Amino acid sequence: MAKCKSETTPLELYQRKLLERIDGIGFLYPDFGEIIYDLSRTIKQHQMPFQIYETYRTPARQKKLIDLGLSKLRDPMDSKHVHGMAVDVLLDSRAVRSLKKNRLSKITDSNVKQRKNNISNDYGGVYNLGVNAISLGSNKRRSVIEDKVVYDFWNYLGLLIERQFPDLVWGGNSNLKSGDLMGTDPPHIEYRHARNLITQRRTINVLRGQGNPGLDKVNL
């Protein structure tokens, strides 16, 4: 008589859970979370087609992204997402029907190549920069507008952050070089004071105290 396949153990279920994308603002570092809450409300008030896609990221999920080559970090604990001080936003595909997934969508796609385990829980939204995307490992510059509507949406988001949220840093301004129309990571928004707080080791205990998953084995 053939043996039945063993059932998934509680530990395996827990480890799989740690790879899931988290989009709750309540998992962020509190001071940063309050600002992101205000930003989210302002985005809705301005009727901008953006959604909060990912907030806090467990060390296990960050490590998985690194192992898959989808993050350039070497240490998961260097990620501001892991410290609850960064979010990624999505441009809602329902607002701009012409959008198609580009290569950068794979960087923070929630499935991390594990759709069969039902990890994705995606919005149905997509990343789209509105300009030519930079392929991983290439030197191609973002210098060509591919979708003016989408391009304007992203720039409007960046302008909103610059004018109304001085404690936030928009990734669309990162690594800009002469001739670039947009920086390297427009979906990414982080806390301006993140690096200092991480250096002072003030974040992980706060996140543990509010019940963030995946921090039980993190040494400070």
Q: What is the 3-state secondary structure (H, E, C) of 80-140?
A: CCCCCCEEEEEECCCCCCCCCCCHHHHCCCCCCCCHHHCCCCCCCCECCCCECCCCCCCCC
Q: What is the pLDDT of residue 115?
A: 38
CA distance 45 to 1: 64
pLDDT confidence of residue 120: 40
Q: If we measure between CA atoms, which residue out of 31, 33, 39, 90 comes closest to residue 56?
A: 33
Reported confidence tier of residue 2, pLDDT bands at 50, 70, 90? low
Q: What percent of the chain has pLDDT over 90?
A: 51
Q: What is the pLDDT of residues 94-128, one digit of tens each?
A: 666 554 555 444 444 444 444 333 334 333 345 66
Query: What pLDDT, on a 0 to 100 scale, did the predictor assign at position 124?
Result: 36
Percentage of residues in the chain having pLDDT higher than 70: 77
pLDDT confidence tier of residue 4, bands split at 50, 70 and 90:
low
Domains of the chain: residue spans and CATH: 15-201 (3.30.1380.10)
Mean pLDDT of the chain: 82
Q: What is the pLDDT of residues 124-145, one digit of tens each?
A: 345 667 787 655 445 567 888 8
- Measured distance between the N- and C-terminal CA atoms of the chain, rounded to whole angstroms: 51
CB 189 within 8 A of CB 127: no
More confidently predicted of 69 and 172:
172
Across 189-217, average pLDDT:
95
pLDDT tens string 155-181: 999 999 999 999 999 999 988 888 899
User: What value does the mean pLDDT take over residues 204-215?
Assistant: 96
Alpha-carbon dihedral sign for residues 32, 154, 174, 212: positive
Residue 83 pLDDT class (50, 70, 90 cuts): very high
Q: Give the closest residue to 140 by CA, choosing from 105, 109, 104.
A: 104
Helices (H) and strands (E) in the chain, counts: 6, 4
Instruction: Answer whether 160's CB lies under 8 Å from 38's CB.
Output: no
The residue with tokens 């979010």 is 87
- Beta-bridged to residue 86, according to DSSP, are 190
Q: Does 165 or 72 have the greater pLDDT score?
A: 165
Q: What is the pLDDT of residues 11-27, one digit of tens each?
A: 888 888 999 999 999 99
Q: pTM of this prediction?
A: 0.84
192: left (phi over 0), alpha (psi -120 to 50) or beta: alpha
